[in-house]
């Protein structure tokens, strides 16, 4: 395990609930559900960490419990918090839909006339080379 989430301690290789921190986490979830901002909910809960970390805590599914971590938050509270977080993000215009990638097809082959002129100026040489292109051939 790389990092022990806030609210847990590792004792003899097992994750156990840190009762004081667990009460702070429960208070955080409830304050956020009651309409407090992330920062104010954390302040009320007595958790002094950054805004971004508080947001991650509200989305941490380990608080629901799994094979290693015991549950701290009830599933209905966790789901309600996630719905509230999404509702607030939508209200503030912070839900970003991924843009649809437009596939651009570039020609892979060209039909080029025979040419053998050489120029000292590289720009003239490039201009000459491009002038030899007769047409683009699409590969289907």
What is the DSSP code (8-state) at residue 63?
G
- SS3 category, 17: strand
Q: Over the stretch 40-97, which tens digit does the pLDDT of each residue have?
A: 999 999 999 998 999 999 999 999 999 999 999 999 999 999 999 999 998 988 877 7
Q: What is the pTM of this model?
A: 0.67
Q: According to DSSP H, which parts of the chain are helical?
A: 19-33, 38-45, 51-58, 75-91, 122-131
Q: Note the CATH number of domain 8-91.
A: 3.90.1750.20
């Amino acid at each position: 395990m790389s990092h022990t989430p806030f609210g847990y301690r590792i004792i003899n290789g097992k994750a156990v609930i840190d009762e004081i921190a667990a009460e702070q986490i429960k208070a955080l979830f409830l304050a956020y559900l009651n309409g407090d901002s992330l920062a104010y909910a954390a302040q009320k809960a007595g958790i002094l960490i950054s805004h971004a970390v508080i947001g991650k805590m509200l989305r941490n599914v380990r608080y629901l419990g799994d094979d290693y971590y015991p549950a701290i938050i009830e599933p209905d509270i966790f789901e309600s918090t996630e719905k509230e977080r999404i509702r607030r993000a939508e209200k503030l215009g912070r839900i970003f839909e991924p843009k649809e990638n437009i596939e651009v097809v570039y020609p892979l082959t060209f039909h080029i006339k025979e040419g053998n002129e050489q120029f000292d100026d590289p720009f003239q040489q490039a201009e000459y080379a491009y002038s030899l292109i007769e047409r683009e051939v699409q590969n289907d």
